[in-house]
Amino acid sequence: MKKINFLFVLLCFSYFSMAQGHSCKEDLFPQQEKNRLFGYINIFGEWKVNPIFSNVFPFHGKTAIVQQGTKFGVISCEGKMIIQPK
């Protein structure tokens, strides 16, 4: 079941990446905070997506896969949840 959920998220991620076709306004990079949670920073080291995730993956287009516990979801460049972790 977990494998199916992860595949679902990957398919959704692929759809959103192809459908949007653009990049974020600025480059965002995965970063781990002292509390061991992940978020995204810009080239100046400023947090653009707060570190609230167990793990994050690089942005492709305007979306990125994020992990909260054992669940995966998809966020936008602004950090808004597009697909809630499942």
Read off the pLDDT of residues 17-58 as tens digits, 9 standing for 90 and up: 544 556 889 999 999 999 899 999 999 999 999 999 999 999
Q: How many CA atoms are closer than 13 Å to the CA of 31, on its beta-carbon side?
A: 18
pLDDT of residue 23: 82
Q: Give residue 21's identity as a one-letter amino acid code.
A: G
Residue of 43, 23, 47 lying closest to 34 (CA atoms) = 47
Per-residue pLDDT tens for 59-73? 999 999 999 999 999
Q: Give residue 49's identity as a one-letter amino acid code.
A: V
Q: Which residues pair with 29 in a beta bridge?
A: 41
pLDDT at residue 14 is higher than 80 = no
Higher-pLDDT residue of 22, 77: 77
